[in-house]
């Protein structure tokens, strides 16, 4: 059984994240989505809220689980018997930062591989930050945020 982990802040989950999840779930026997903290980001939603939103969005995808992660991703991967870390790439700027993370993870545990999944062109502009900015000005976030959670995201972000 090939297990992979897809870590991120998912604050909130976007259509781009969901696309990576669906595609990775077709490749791997089991996919674990890890809701992580990023100390350089101030999250709008709690870890528990983010986990619950992801669970709503992945209903019907049987081989995907969601966990709240703490600490280093490579340690979480090992704890969950995952040998692969899945990361999404939208643009060259993502690649540069993701390469630095992948290299650090490789130095921490060279038995865990990082696999980059390139965003579909129509989703390459999506980010949680952009969606939150649009929502904060009462803009339409459909197309950015999965339909299953638009109402709760809007309630928290609309002014």
As annotated, the active-site residues are 17, 41, 90, 128
**CA angle, 105 as apex, 42 and 26 as ends, to 5°?**
85
Answer whether 15's CB lies under 8 Å from 123's CB: yes
Residue 16: how many CA atoms within 13 Å on its side-chain side? 26
- At 78, phi and psi to the nearest 5? -60, -45
Answer whether 2's CB lies under 8 Å from 83's CB: yes
């Amino acid at each position: 059984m090939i297990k992979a982990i897809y870590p991120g802040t998912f604050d909130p989950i976007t259509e781009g994240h969901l696309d990576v999840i669906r595609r990775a779930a077709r490749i791997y026997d089991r996919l674990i989505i890890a809701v992580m903290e990023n100390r350089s980001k101030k999250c709008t939603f709690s870890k528990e809220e983010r986990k619950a939103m992801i669970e709503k969005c992945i209903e019907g995808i049987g081989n995907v689980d969601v966990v709240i992660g703490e600490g280093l991703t490579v340690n979480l991967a090992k704890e969950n018997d995952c040998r692969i870390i899945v990361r999404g790439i939208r643009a060259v700027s993502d690649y540069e930062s993701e390469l630095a993370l992948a290299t650090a993870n490789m130095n921490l545990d060279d038995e865990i591989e990082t696999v980059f999944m390139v965003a579909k062109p129509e989703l390459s502009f999506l980010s949680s930050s952009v969606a939150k900015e649009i929502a904060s000005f009462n803009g339409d976030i459909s197309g950015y945020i999965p339909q299953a959670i638009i109402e709760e995201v809007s309630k928290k972000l609309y002014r």
